[in-house]
């Protein structure tokens, strides 16, 4: 196996959905106003098409991670896009007898239907309107159903709207989330193609719903964390916008609607059953997402400091933990790791009761580890 190869376990558990986001005018002016940007050279955007465009340079494979019957190739974009936006990347993996192909619009790209235990030589090409690049350097990997040592098994709970790339050499994990949920919501366009629209339930006051459908916006979120996060010497306050990524592929926010503005009853009454609504260019969670975790110990999200967030109950006891710190965290075992370790819980305190439904804030404390940026 080459130096570019590493091992990981990446589970895919939900249906793949297009990347979209929502808009909200009732939010505070600074609540996660984010957008995408273009590049003038590498990447899947940037550099308008030129009449003198040429095929792009080849990308560079940086990491090959292995999973159960598939490989994930992370790569750097070409140094030059040839003067035209790159429209797609294609990865080809060959074991000397059969070739398999995967495509993506950005790094990483997955190649599926591979044989466990068989070594594959993989390369990546980039395409624009003028043609296709030469092949990248080779990345070698052997699919394996066994999780790699050092990668917490919690990452297997993230659905297909989140790509997990484990850099074993750096001991870091990078998550790429599509920035939208993989579940039903009245915030999907009822006339759209997602197939995930449902009528608002009794917990939602339709007149208080935020304007804008999830389908109207596109975005992605990136978070790189230490695979073994450590407690910091002092806490760090959260800020407006994404503070973590849920297992569903959408971000979570804190208990603020805007600068120094707590979530108010009028806003909460427009939330869906997942404790979420649309905000400037993103659908996001503020409250306990009851269809995901409802007074239980299920994994909900990872925060920007690398620590995981669980439901209100402690695993193994069936009761709320009694030794939580001010952030809702403590050291203890979970269903994924019997060795006591630090993690967060939703604090079992009712924030408000709206339309007969008790609401609990997902996270309203301060990071107890050292947070990294959730980029967009």
Please spell the DSSP secondary structure of 10-28, one letter per residue.
----S------B---SSS-
SS3 301: strand
The phi, psi pair for 180, rounded to 5°, reads: -145, 160
* Cβ contact 14:181 at 8 Å: no
* Cβ contact 82:54 at 8 Å: yes
CA 227 to chain centre: 15
Structural domains of the chain in order of their starting residue, each with its CATH number: 60-141 (2.60.40.10), 153-369 (no CATH)
pLDDT tens for the chain, 376 residues long, are 443 333 333 333 332 322 322 333 333 333 433 333 333 334 433 444 456 899 999 998 877 877 778 888 888 899 999 999 999 999 999 999 899 999 988 888 889 999 988 999 999 999 999 999 999 998 888 887 765 556 788 888 898 889 888 887 788 899 999 899 999 999 999 999 999 999 999 999 999 999 999 998 888 899 999 999 999 999 999 999 999 999 999 999 999 887 777 887 678 999 999 999 998 889 999 999 999 999 999 999 999 999 999 999 998 888 999 999 999 999 999 998 888 999 999 999 999 999 999 999 999 999 999 999 998 8
Nearest-angstrom CA–CA distance, 146 and 337: 16
């Amino acid at each position: 196996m080459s130096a570019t190869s590493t091992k990981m376990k990446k589970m895919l558990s939900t249906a793949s959905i297009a990347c979209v986001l929502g808009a909200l005018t009732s939010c505070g002016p600074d609540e996660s106003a984010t957008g995408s940007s273009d590049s003038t050279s590498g990447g899947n955007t940037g550099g308008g098409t030129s009449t003198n465009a040429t095929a792009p340079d080849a990308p560079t494979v940086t990491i090959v991670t292995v999973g159960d019957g598939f490989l994930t190739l992370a790569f750097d974009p070409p140094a030059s896009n040839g003067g035209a936006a790159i429209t797609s990347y294609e990865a080809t993996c060959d074991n000397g007898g059969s070739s398999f192909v995967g495509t993506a619009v950005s790094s990483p790209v997955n190649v599926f239907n591979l044989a466990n235990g068989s070594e594959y030589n993989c390369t990546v090409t980039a395409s624009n309107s003028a043609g296709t690049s030469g092949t990248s350097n080779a990345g070698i990997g052997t699919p394996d159903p066994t999780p790699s040592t050092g990668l917490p098994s919690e990452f297997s709970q993230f659905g297909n709207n989140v790509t997990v790339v484990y850099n074993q050499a750096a001991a870091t994990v990078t998550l790429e989330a599509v920035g939208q949920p993989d579940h039903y919501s009245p915030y999907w366009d009822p006339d759209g193609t997602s197939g995930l629209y449902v009528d608002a339930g009794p917990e939602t006051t339709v007149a208080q719903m935020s304007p804008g459908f999830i389908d109207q916006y596109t975005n992605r979120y990136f978070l790189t964390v230490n695979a073994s996060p450590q407690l910091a010497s002092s806490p760090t306050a959260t800020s407006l916008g994404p503070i973590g990524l849920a297992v569903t592929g959408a971000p979570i926010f804190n208990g603020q609607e805007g600068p120094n503005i707590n979530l108010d009853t009028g806003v909460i009454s427009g939330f869906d059953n997942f404790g979420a609504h649309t905000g400037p260019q993103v659908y996001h969670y503020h409250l306990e997402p009851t269809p995901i975790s409802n007074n239980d110990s299920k994994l909900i999200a990872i925060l920007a400091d690398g620590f995981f967030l669980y439901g209100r109950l402690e695993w193994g006891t069936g009761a709320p933990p009694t030794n939580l710190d001010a952030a809702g965290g403590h050291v203890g075992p979970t269903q994924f790791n019997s060795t006591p370790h630090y993690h967060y819980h939703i604090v079992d305190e009712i924030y408000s009761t709206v339309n007969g439904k008790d609401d609990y804030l997902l996270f309203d404390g301060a990071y107890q580890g050292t947070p990294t940026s959730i980029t967009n």
